[in-house]
């Protein structure tokens, strides 16, 4: 029998990476918040790779941290290894990746949640979203019959909605790491108007350390000095990160043949399951079929935790039967005698169509109902956490009667992610890629605090202590630029002459400022530090000075593109307009614009099928509407 069990400002459903950030954001912004999760013991679970960051994903984590979120701090505090990737390329694609202790990551996040004011974490299974007779959101209902009132609900259900575990011909109800699936909520969402689709993901076998022959593999060390995700160090993170090694090995022709011989034993290859998997994180079966010209594929062997004997076999995700998995596993160098602790599997689950959401991640049809994470069709811990953070912030702002907080494509990778979801839509699990961000030179991982910490502080999520650290860094950068612009070095300076010779740089005929010297491609801030006149600052400040000066021309060009982009973003489209009636638009444009109801001309331009000619028609339409409104006001 149903009963009312409590009233909250915000209810978060799901304790994964999205749910943790959403609950913390709402609570830290003063909302009485309830986090409901299937299992308190599995909060912040890493059911797949025990790592945080990487290309584009690392940028997202640093943005979460700059805004006042938790993921970056948690990753730093529980890291086993850190490495800065793509250092042979430009700063736009540099990316930090941290190998985490999955058990410590969970324990620390649970501790943070339990100690957070205004937040209660409770174990229960949510089965329904509750609306009143007018269709207004009033709360949720759990399987125990308990009903909780709230004007805002954030669904962060991950891969649990009607989820099923698939190995070979076996297809049974289940959720990550042997947990129970969430039943009932999918039917509830359908009953209130949401269309659901089936997506899938997978995970590789976990192996016992004692059975792996690491001598046949290539060691992959980290770099303890590669930096941290958090711009704001704590006692937990104010030190070099440890370096527990990972290892590299490869598949071979024998591995591939065993996989090909057994594809008929997979339900995905017999066409019996509809789930669509992630393009950029395919199973080993998919790799062998899609890349049949490759004679081997990389595999990484990574520790699950300091106190664990389990190793994660990255790149070896499989939904083939357990006996087949073990057979092809033993063909890999170093894995001849590998003992499987947990076999790999695929998981199918329900997700919504993200086109039904606003940029706040609130449903267009039900005020106060937000969605974040894999329920929106994304893949990855980082993408989920970013959505959770933004949904939590916006739910709290709505409770307090404040304007929503939206990041654009030119401000953050988080803005690109959400814009892709709610404007373009997706047909397969979405993964954030560097190439997806058209302004990636501006959205570097090194400057996330300069881009976003001011906004995080204004919203109220970034603490005063962190904000003061940010202001100090900003002041040092401004002071550094002043020194670089105003300090002139004589061409007769002995240290300069020596420095130019060492770096094969032409000695100037007249005095140059430090700024002019730094613009030379053969020089760098690190090289010029040999000059006594060169300002000395903490490494992160010198990095900003170096990048902003050396890439000044490219940065200026992207900023000009952003100004053009913003012109379209600032032109609002009426929400009651009937696009079918606008003459000059193609029929495809009319139908898609009516379906998507874009809020701005910029949003309209990013809808698939909308052409530059259609945008020109809309510009003329807006000018005509403004002219008509002006005449009516003057009558």
Residue 393: the pLDDT is 98
494 found inside a domain: yes
What CATH number is associated with residue 501? 1.10.10.1800
Weakest-pLDDT range from 186-190, 295-299, 525-529, 627-631: 627-631
Of the listed ranges 17-26, 29-38, 244-253, 505-514, the least confidently predicted one is 505-514
Q: How far apart are CA 371 and CA 359, in angstroms?
A: 11
Say if residue 482 is in the same domain as residue 435.
Answer: no
> Distance between CA atoms of 511 and 493, rounded to whole angstroms?
10
Domain CATH for 309:
2.40.30.260
| pLDDT for 272 | 66
CA distances from 156 to 15, 44, 220, 275, 388 (A): 7, 12, 34, 20, 7
Choose among 540, 562, 541: nearest CA to 441: 562
pLDDT for 315 equals 94
Q: Virtual CA dihedral for 380, 383, 387, 388, nearest 10 degrees?
A: 50
Rounded to 5 degrees, φ, ψ at 492 are -95, 0
In a domain, 239, yes or no: yes
Same domain, 40 and 178: yes
Residues 186 and 213 in one domain: no
589, pLDDT greater than 90: no
Cα distances from 380 to residues 107, 358, 364, 398, in angstroms, run 20, 21, 25, 27
Residues 254 and 315 in one domain: yes
Question: How would residue 629 be classed by pLDDT, with cut points 50, 70 and 90?
Answer: confident
Does 372 fall in a domain? yes
What is the pLDDT, as a whole number, of residue 612?
A: 81
Q: What is the pLDDT of residue 624?
A: 85
Residue 238 has pLDDT above 80, yes or no: no
So what's the pLDDT on residue 628? Answer: 77
CA distance 387 to 370: 10
Pair (500, 374) in one structural domain: no
Would you place residue 432 in the very low, low, confident or very high pLDDT band (cuts 50, 70, 90)?
very high
SS3 category, 448: helix
Q: Which residue range forms the structural domain that includes residue 106?
A: 3-201+349-459
Count of domains observed in the chain: 4
The per-residue pLDDT for 347 is 94
The answer to the question of residue 567 being in a domain is no
| Residue 180 DSSP code | P
Indicate whether 565 belongs to any domain: no
What's the CATH code of the domain at 431?
A: 3.50.50.60
Q: How confident is the model at residue 416 (pLDDT cuts 50, 70, 90)?
A: very high
Same domain, yes or no, for 58 and 182? yes
Flag the least confident range among 85-89, 108-112, 145-149, 455-459: 85-89
- Give the pLDDT of residue 235: 80
pLDDT of amino acid 58? 97
- Are 581 and 445 contained in the same domain? no
Q: Confirm whether 551 is domain-assigned.
A: yes
Residues 417 and 517 in one domain: no
Q: How far is CA 41 from the centre of its chain?
A: 24
Based on the fold, state whether residues 355 and 287 are members of the same structural domain: no
pLDDT at 231: 95
Residue 50 and residue 184 in one domain: yes
* Predicted pLDDT of residue 242: 77
For residue 564, is it within any domain? no
What average pLDDT does range 615-624 have in this prediction?
86
Asked whether the predicted pLDDT for residue 143 surpasses 90, the reply is yes
The whole-number pLDDT of residue 626 equals 79
Sequence-distant (6+) residues with CB within 8 A of 313 are 204, 205, 206, 207, 299, 300, 301, 329
- With cut-offs at 50, 70 and 90, classify the pLDDT of residue 602: confident
pLDDT for 609 beyond 90 = no
Q: Final residue of a domain: which of 304, 328, 345?
A: 345
Mean pLDDT computed over 148-163: 97
- Examine the fold and report which residue of 316, 345, 374 is the final residue of a domain before the chain moves on: 345
Assigned domain for 566 exists = no
Which of 404, 425, 459 is where one domain is finished?
A: 459
Q: What are the backbone dihedrals phi and psi of residue 212, each rounded to the nearest 5 degrees, phi first?
A: -100, 130
Q: Alpha helices, DSSP H only, in 313-412?
A: 322-329, 381-399
Mean pLDDT, residues 29-37: 98
Examine the domain organization and report whether 481 and 545 are in the same domain.
Answer: yes
3-state DSSP of 226-283: CCCCCCCCCCCCCCCCCCCCEEEEECCHHHHHHHHHCHHHCCCCCCCCCCECCCCCCC
pTM: 0.93
Taking the C-alpha atoms of residue 21 and residue 457, their distance in angstroms, rounded to an integer, is 16
| Cα end-to-end span (Å), the chain | 62
Same domain for 448 and 473? Answer: no
Enclosing H/E stretch for 528: helix 525-528
For residue 624, the domain's CATH number is 1.10.150.570
């Amino acid at each position: 029998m149903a009963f009312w069990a409590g009233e909250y400002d915000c209810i978060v459903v799901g304790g994964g990476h999205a749910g943790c950030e959403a609950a913390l954001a709402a609570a830290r912004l003063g909302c009485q918040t309830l986090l409901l999760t299937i299992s308190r013991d599995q909060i912040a679970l890493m059911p797949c790779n025990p790592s945080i960051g990487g290309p584009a994903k690392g940028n997202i984590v640093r943005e979460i941290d700059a805004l006042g979120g938790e993921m970056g701090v948690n990753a730093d505090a529980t890291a086993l290894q850190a490495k800065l990737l793509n250092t042979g390329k430009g700063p736009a694609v540099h990316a930090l990746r941290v190998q985490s202790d999955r058990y410590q990551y969970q324990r620390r996040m649970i501790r943070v949640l339990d100690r957070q004011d205004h937040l209660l974490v409770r174990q229960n299974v949510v089965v329904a979203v509750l609306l009143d007779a007018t269709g207004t959101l009033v709360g949720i209902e759990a399987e125990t019959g308990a009903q909780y009132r709230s004007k805002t609900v954030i669904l962060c259900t991950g891969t649990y909605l009607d989820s099923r575990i698939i190995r070979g011909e076996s297809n049974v109800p289940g959720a990550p790491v042997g947990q129970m699936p969430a039943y009932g909520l999918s039917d509830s969402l359908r009953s209130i108007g949401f269309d659901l689709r089936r997506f899938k993901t997978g995970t590789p076998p976990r192996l016992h350390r004692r059975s792996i022959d690491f001598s046949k593999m290539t060691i992959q060390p980290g770099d303890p000095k590669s930096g941290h995700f958090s711009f704001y160090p704590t006692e937990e993170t104010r030190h070099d990160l440890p370096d527990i090694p990972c290892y590299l090995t490869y598949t071979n022709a024998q591995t591939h043949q065993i996989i090909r011989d057994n594809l008929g034993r997979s339900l995905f290859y017999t066409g019996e399951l509809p789930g669509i998997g992630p393009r950029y994180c395919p199973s080993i079966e998919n790799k062998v079929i899609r890349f049949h010209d490759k004679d081997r594929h990389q595999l990484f062997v990574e520790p699950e935790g300091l106190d664990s004997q389990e190793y994660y076999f990255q790149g070896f995700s499989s939904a083939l039967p357990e006996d087949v998995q073990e057979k092809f596993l033993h063909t890999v160098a170093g894995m001849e005698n590998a003992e499987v602790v947990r076999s790999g599997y695929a998981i199918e689950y329900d997700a919504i169509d993200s086109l039904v959401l606003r940029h706040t991640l609130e449903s267009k049809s039900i005020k106060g109902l937000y969605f974040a994470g894999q329920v929106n069709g994304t893949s990855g811990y980082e993408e989920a956490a970013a959505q959770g953070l933004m949904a939590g912030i916006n739910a709290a702002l709505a409770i307090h009667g404040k304007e929503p907080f939206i990041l654009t494509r030119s401000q953050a990778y988080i803005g690109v992610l959400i814009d892709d979801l709610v404007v373009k839509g997706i047909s397969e699990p979405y993964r954030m890629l560097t190439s997806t961000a058209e302004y990636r030179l501006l959205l570097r991982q090194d400057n996330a605090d300069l881009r976003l910490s001011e906004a995080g502080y204004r919203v109220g999520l970034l603490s005063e202590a962190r904000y003061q650290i940010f202001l100090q860094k900003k002041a040092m950068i401004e002071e550094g630029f002043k020194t670089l612009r105003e300090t002139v070095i004589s061409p007769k300076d002995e240290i300069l002459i020596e420095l130019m010779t060492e770096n094969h740089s032409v000695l100037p005929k007249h005095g140059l400022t430090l700024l002019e010297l730094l613009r030379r491609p053969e020089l760098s801030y690190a090289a010029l530090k040999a000059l006594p006149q060169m300002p000395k600052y903490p490494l992160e400040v010198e990095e900003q000075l170096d990048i902003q000066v050396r890439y000044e021309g490219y940065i200026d060009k992207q900023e000009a593109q952003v100004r053009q982009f913003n012109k379209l973003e600032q032109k609002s489209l009426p929400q009651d307009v009937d696009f079918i009636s606008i003459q000059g638009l193609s029929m495809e444009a009319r139908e898609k614009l009516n379906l998507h109801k874009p809020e701005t001309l910029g949003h309209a331009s990013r809808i698939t099928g909308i052409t530059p000619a259609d945008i020109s028609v809309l510009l003329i339409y807006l000018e005509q509407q403004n002219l008509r409104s002006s005449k009516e006001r003057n009558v």
